[in-house]
Amino acid sequence: MEKSIEGRGGVAAEQYTFVIVGGGIAGVTSAETTAICCPKESILLLTESNIIKTVANLEPVARYLYKFDVLERELANNTGNSESRNVLAPAIVTQVDSLQHVDAKEKFIITTKKKKIYYKYLCICTGGRPRLIEKDNPLIIGIRDTDSVLVLQNKLANSKTVVLVGNGGIASELAYELKGLKVHWVVKDNHIASTFIDPGAAYFFQQVMDSKEGVTSNDTSESIVKRLRYDEIVASENSNKKGAALGPDWHRHFDLKGSNSSIDKPIIHFKSLVKSMEEYFDAEQNKTLLKVELNTGEIIVCDFLVSATGVDPRYDYSSEPKFELDIEDHGIKVNEMMQTSNEYIYAAGDVCTAAWDKAEHWFQMRLWTQARQMGSMAGRSMTAHHLGETIYQDFCFELFGHVTQLFGLPVILLGRYNGQCLGTNYEILLRTTPGHEYIKFILQDGKLRGAILIGNTELAEMCENLILNGIDLTPFGDDILNPDIDIDDYFD
């Protein structure tokens, strides 16, 4: 249990062995992992909201790749609350508060409620902050957590037109799920969902959106297999919210419909940016509207704008000494054990930047998958440090993997799935069945370096093995994706 000790000036302070800050996937996973490894030690989970995110229904998709649900659990702001005990491990105490200052020399934190909490090991999982086009504007909603989606849901009921800005996972799902009103989707790229997919997969998804049939499509088109070199693809192309991040399938829990049931497809504005915005009062509708001008010169009048343009590491508390931050994204730099520049302070999730020598097939993306992996690694590392044990980095950091859903279809990303950091010396092998599946292999020197699997392909484990084992696939040619050949038989 926690201890109360006499602080400076006679002020009572609390003391825990482990203090984890953040109620998102990274923070909760870190706390739960810590409780498994050190069930008799005192553990504090400090969260800004009484709603925390927990991982549930963890299901293996391949040997090292998992899909899971993110559940919201409500906690009372009570260190001894029995409900809290049922949600989390018995060793974990929860408090609803936020971090204000870290004193790494004396090993204590100060919260916004002016509590002084001493720690032996601290893990910072404060997440990311949405990049908003304009702050403190009620007509601009930044989508990041459940609270912001609830605001969106309330606004939709009486709205006719909305502008959606962003091209990542959340923006793509919103574009697909928003119905009953006119949606102007503003994307800066020349194809949709550019965070995850290439123009070929984007075209595949646009067909799905146009048909609105998804996996139930009656399209019986034959599969198409193509092998392309990098230069061929280039030529064709040239033609302040708080709270934990949304998890996978978040949109299933919300009614995202407007009042006009006849409208269900977004209007997409490619290669576009918001140039300016102006509020004005519409006397006829008796409400304030937003006039949005794009860099193309087009003007859109809307009820409100949804900003889903990604996040930046959230580092809005002071520390002494200061943490070492990444020059580019300003995240807290961590080593392979998730340690910061202070050996007793760890960080995980969106707030941190991986500063170790990364494996050949792994890179950092601020996703719920990596938040879970980093949180687990931080928990293991802290407890090993406390117990004087030696551990090694988890194998999940050997291969990038992410399972999600876009436009109603399952999506699996593995390795250098878009040729990241491979230069121009690679080939792409494609197989697509319109409305059903899209498979893309990245091949370099005959070896599989990455893959995009859209639809129920059942190829995830095979791809994982091929990437990690570095098997030369040259002898198989294009048959590696021939739908008439069970390629799994080659590697049993």
Distance from C-alpha of 420 to C-alpha of 282, rounded to nearest angstrom: 47
Q: Domains in the chain, please, with CATH?
A: 14-127+314-397 (3.50.50.60), 134-212+238-310 (3.50.50.60), 408-490 (3.30.390.30)
Distance from C-alpha of 453 to C-alpha of 404, rounded to nearest angstrom: 11
Q: What count of Cα atoms within 13 Å lies in the side-chain half-sphere of residue 79?
A: 10
Distances (CA, A) of 427 to 41, 227, 306, 430, 474: 52, 7, 37, 10, 12
CB 192 within 8 Å of CB 272:
no
Return phi, psi of residue 491, to 5°. Answer: -120, 15
Distance from C-alpha of 169 to C-alpha of 404, rounded to nearest angstrom: 9
- Kindly report the length of the chain: 492
- One-letter amino acid for residue 384 of the chain: A
Nearest Cα residue to 320 out of 60, 38, 24, 108 = 108
Distance from C-alpha of 2 to C-alpha of 13, rounded to nearest angstrom: 10
CB 97 within 8 Å of CB 78:
no
pLDDT for 194 equals 85
What DSSP character marks residue 388?
Answer: T
Distance from C-alpha of 19 to C-alpha of 122, rounded to nearest angstrom: 5
pLDDT for 212 equals 60
pLDDT for 81 equals 47
Distance from C-alpha of 329 to C-alpha of 345, rounded to nearest angstrom: 20
- One-letter amino acid for residue 275 of the chain: K
Pairing of strands 352-354, 332-334: parallel
CB 332 within 8 Å of CB 316:
no
CB 243 within 8 Å of CB 70:
no
Q: Which two tokens stand for residue 442?
A: 């990245």
- Note the pLDDT tens digit of each residue in 31-59: 999 999 999 999 999 999 888 999 999 99
pLDDT for 220 equals 39
Query: DSSP per residue over 10-29, as a string?
Result: G-EEEEEEEEEE--SHHHHH
- Residue 117 pairs in a beta bridge with 14, 109
Q: Which residues of the chain have pLDDT under 50?
A: 1, 10, 77-85, 213-222, 227, 229-241, 244, 246, 250-251, 253-256
- Note the pLDDT tens digit of each residue in 215-239: 333 333 445 555 454 444 343 433 3
Q: By 3-state DSSP, what share of the chain in percent is helix, strand and coil, each rounded to 5?
A: 25, 35, 40
Q: Which two tokens stand for residue 349?
A: 């999730």
Residue identified by tokens 């799994």 is: 488
